Amino acid sequence: MPLEIVAVPALSDNYIWLVHDPASAETVVVDPGEAAPPLAAAADRGWTITQIWNTHWHPDHVGGNAAIRAATGATITGPAAEADKIGTLDVAVAQGDHVRIGAIVGDILAVGAHTAGHIAIHLPGEQILFTGDTLFAMGCGRLFEGVPADMFAAMAKLAALPGDTRVYCGHEYTVANGRYAVVAEPGNAAAQAALAEAERLRAAGRPTLPTTISAERATNPFMRAASPDELGARRRAKDDFTG
């Protein structure tokens, strides 16, 4: 049976992801910025949370760690390079390491840029990718601890994954990202169509995620940047964009 993935809205615009494996009855919480919403969502479904996966150290992604572990005994896994900033980690992982939910294996990808030790978690057999705040639908994370070359390398690493990989990221930023994307690449019809669809979904109160790697190759101005310099210029422009 395939994994079941539920988007749990939290804070102002975060998504916490609940990932349930029916075969093993394991449930993972990805990037819990707070505890109550994922605990309630799991309880509503009769799921028992057994693990937490963190992509990076920012409080809106780890703030629920301690309370969820206290309530469930869940094991917390996150980036080794940020273990000093995530005091709740039980297991520290880096590029080339693996996580598991039941019999399903996930690969750890180093994608430092938004934060220096940021990781993504790729479940190749399930065509699933959790990107935290590195890759968004039609966007990328701000460069708080990295430089444009770091994000350019991260985008290239993620773009190389199979196109039908479903991407689950940490925030509902798609409409705002899309409004910049159609300015950055005014001739990009795919980005225009993706923005229109995102606006339709949000007007209906629905998430715009997951996206896919193939969609991002076609619409994301940061993944489509030809060089670190171009990515950097686009990131600075997006930081100041008010459209």
Quote the CA–CA distance of 31 and 54 in Å, as a whole number. Answer: 5
- Placement of tokens 């409004």 in the chain: 179
The three-class DSSP label of residue 70 is: helix
98 is catalytic: no
DSSP tag of 124: G
114 is catalytic: yes
Residue among 114, 118, 122, 150 flagged as catalytic: 114
97 is catalytic: no
107 is catalytic: no
Residue among 20, 21, 56, 118 flagged as catalytic: 56
| Residue 120 neighbours by CB distance under 10 Å | 25
Beta-carbon contacts of residue 203 (< 8 Å; ≥ 6 apart): none
Quote the CA–CA distance of 227 and 243 in Å, as a whole number. Answer: 25
Cis-peptide into 22, omega within 30 deg? no
56 is catalytic: yes
122 is catalytic: no
Q: List helix spans (H) across the chain.
A: 36-45, 59-62, 65-72, 148-159, 174-184, 189-203, 213-219, 228-240
44 is catalytic: no
Residue among 20, 31, 58, 150 flagged as catalytic: 58
Residue among 21, 31, 60, 150 flagged as catalytic: 60
Residue among 20, 21, 31, 61 flagged as catalytic: 61
Point out the residues that are catalytic.
Answer: 56, 58, 60-61, 114, 133, 171
